[in-house]
Amino acid sequence: MSADVLGRWVPDRPEDVAAVFAKADFPWWIAGGYAIELAVGRELRAHGDLDILVLRRDQAALQGLLADWDLYVADPPGQGRLRPWRPGEVLQPPLHDIWCRRTPEAPWSVQLMLDEAEGAKWVSRRTPEIRLPIDQLGRTSETGIPYLAPEVQLFYKAKATREKDETDFDAVMPLLDAAARAWLADAISVIAPDHPWLRRLPPVSRR
């Protein structure tokens, strides 16, 4: 989506979001490039936005938490159009992308992503074959900020990799244990069986 058309972005920092979400009674995770930086413990590059992942089933609580914010949903997804997320509106798939700013005059500062869940398992919105126990979906930084597990974030980045995604992959790969690398290889093989990252990961086990 074009920032020129939809308004400028001045992304919050993870610590800013953590302060806002301190009262949340539902799980949430910093996602995107900031999740990779929280995993490696250092800054890697500039960021155009800040992503947060929340389970779709918690959207009512999420909307209540941000009741004073200006919230817009991308509808339809990926087509460069936003509309207000109406109070009490339940967003159904494929709607999953919410832009947030503190007031209508403020720049956009947070992008919310709604993902699926079945019971105690996270289910990728891209393909229900990819799933994880929710208690394995994230990590917590040294300062107490929850962030998406790097292998899950790399899975999402693998769909259409850009230079910044290669930077993130190179930075976090040394930190992934054998189980995380194996999960990532299996997950990428489902959405992109010829992806070049697979040459740097263990042989795929799901066949």
Q: What percent of the chain has pLDDT over 70?
A: 96
pLDDT above 70 (res 206): no
The per-residue pLDDT for range 75-117, each reduced to its tens digit, is 998 888 999 999 999 999 999 999 999 999 999 999 999 999 9
Question: With the CA atoms of 196, 130, 159 and 199 taken in that order, what torsion angle do they form, in degrees rounded to the nearest 10?
Answer: 0
Peptide bond into 104 cis (omega under 30): no
In whole numbers, what is the pLDDT of the chain averaged over residues?
93
What average pLDDT does range 175-184 have in this prediction? 96
Q: How far apart are CA 50 and CA 30, in angstroms?
A: 8
Query: What are the structure tokens assigned to 11, written together?
Result: 């992304």
Complete domains list, the chain, with CATH: 3-148 (3.30.460)
pLDDT above 50 (res 1): no
pLDDT above 60 (res 207): no
Instruction: Count the alpha carbons within 13 Å of 90 in the hemisphere toward its beta carbon.
Output: 4
What average pLDDT does range 165-193 have in this prediction? 95
The per-residue pLDDT for range 113-128, each reduced to its tens digit, is 999 999 999 999 989 9
Alpha-carbon dihedral sign for residues 155, 157, 159, 163: negative
